[in-house]
Amino acid sequence: MTHLPKIQTCVVAMAIALACTGSISTTLAADTLRVTDMTGRELMLDGPAQRVVSIIVPTAATIVAIDGSPEKLIGVNPIAMRMFRSGIIGKLFPEALSIRSNITQGGAGIFVPNVEELVALDPDIVIQAGYAGEQVVKPLVNAGINTALYMSGGEERMRAAITMIGAVLGKPERAKMLNDWRAKTIARIKSAAQKIADGERVKILQVMATPTGFRVWGKQTIANDAIRLAGAVNAAADVPRLKPVNTEQIAKWAPDVIFIFNVGRANRQSVLGHTLLSTTPAARSGRVYRLPTGSINWGSAGVDDPLYFAYVAALAYPRIHAGGVAGDIQRWYTKIYGKPVSHEQIAKLLHAKENGAAPNYDLILGRSR
């Protein structure tokens, strides 16, 4: 497939329109696709992409979900590869673990491209961070590589990303299916949340344990969207995006529920056994949960978000929101990936051994009380 090194600027920004319609913009010839990325930049492909690289972490799994297999994914960020290894994609598609993951410059930043490696891979398109600066985009464009830019920041942008990838792969109907699933899940949870009185709103905090402390998800994040959707309050709502905070601040927020992002050696004990954090209402009640890793790490925007939304809602308000997330995983992974998922795989994904004794987790696992 011939690459067109010049990326034209589209007069009309179409990312939001694409997110709503799930359509591809006008074709130039019988097999030529003209696709608009999330910054309104226009790219032309000779046809649906057959060789795709994702420097962006969550879009790697989205490509697999939309295409139904990892066949067209030839390069991924090393962080995405770690998710493939620890999550469900590597179990369902062992061949995905052989995808090249040396596409970034180690130590230079997670989005800095390894241009030499990318040129050797000869991709039809590379998906790159549109928010990380021209320094990570220009080397790709200068090398003659078609580059679609991704923008992060909540539900609407994730839908736009799904639509963009569907356009790139020539599968807008698959992208629409995933976005319809998101919309229906959100509508169901939002409807149930209307039963929650203002005085019953629990405070939730999503944290990442790091070697030096904790980071929290604030506003303009998918975690904030999930918490608010459930009818709860994000304890870190005044914090911009994902930021480090000290444990004194977390204790002062006094969250009722804490979700721990599944990265590194994440575990419930990092909160329950902490001198200060063990005094929070969440720790005292045991409502501390290690988030799953499915197609992606839940709590970071991606294809699994409807499952993550349902998970957060069920654990925030178990008497109001439907549980049975394990059953939802079985149904949707089978539909998306075309392969059955075993009960053992689901239990491991949900950290059943670690989370199983925590309050209300029987609803997640589908067990009767």
- Which pLDDT does position 33 carry in this prediction? 86
Q: Spelled out in words, what is the top-level CATH class assigned to the domain 195-365? A: alpha beta
Asked whether the predicted pLDDT for residue 9 surpasses 90, the reply is no
Helix (H), strand (E), coil (C) string for the chain? CCCCCCCEECCCCCHHHHHHHCCCCCCCCCCCEEEECCCCEEEEECCCCCCEEECCHHHHHHHHHHHCCCCCEEEECHHHHHHHHHCCHHHHCHHHHHCECCCECCCCCCCCECHHHHHHHCCCEEEEECCCCHHHCHHHHHCCCCEEEECCCCHHHHHHHHHHHHHHHCCHHHHHHHHHHHHHHHHHHHHHHCCCCHHHCCEEEEEEEECCEEEEECECCHHHHHHHHCCCEECCCCCECEEEECHHHHHHHCCCEEEECCCCCCCCHHHHCCCCHHHCHHHHHCCEEECCECCCECCCCCCCHHHHHHHHHHHHCCCCCCCCHHHHHHHHHHHHHCCCCCHHHHHHHCCHHHHCCCCCHHHHHCCCC
Angle between helices 305-316 and 325-337 (to 10 degrees): 180
Taking residues 60-69, what's their average pLDDT? 96
Is the CB of residue 24 less than 8 Å from the CB of residue 32?
no
Percentage, residues of the chain above pLDDT 90: 73
- Contact (CB, 8 A) for 329 and 307: yes
Q: What is the pLDDT of residues 110-143, one digit of tens each?
A: 899 999 999 999 999 999 999 888 899 999 999 9
Per CATH, domain 8-178 is 3.40.50.1980: yes
Task: Kindly tell me if the per-residue pLDDT of 3 is higher than 80.
Answer: no
In the chain, where the domains are located: 8-178, 195-365
278 pLDDT band, cuts 50/70/90, is very high
Residue 193: name the closest of 225, 228, 219, 158 by CA. Answer: 228
| pLDDT tens digits along 188-202 | 999 999 999 988 999
> Residue 5 above 80 pLDDT?
no
Q: Do domains 8-178 and 195-365 have the same CATH topology?
A: yes
Q: What would you report as the CA-atom Rg of the chain, rounded to the nearest whole angstrom? A: 21
pLDDT of 144 strictly over 50: yes
pLDDT at 26: 40
Identify the band that residue 165 occupies on the pLDDT scale cut at 50, 70 and 90.
very high
pLDDT at residue 22 in the model = 40
- Model confidence, pTM: 0.87
Work out the percent of the chain whose per-residue pLDDT is above 70. 90
Mean of pLDDT over the chain: 88
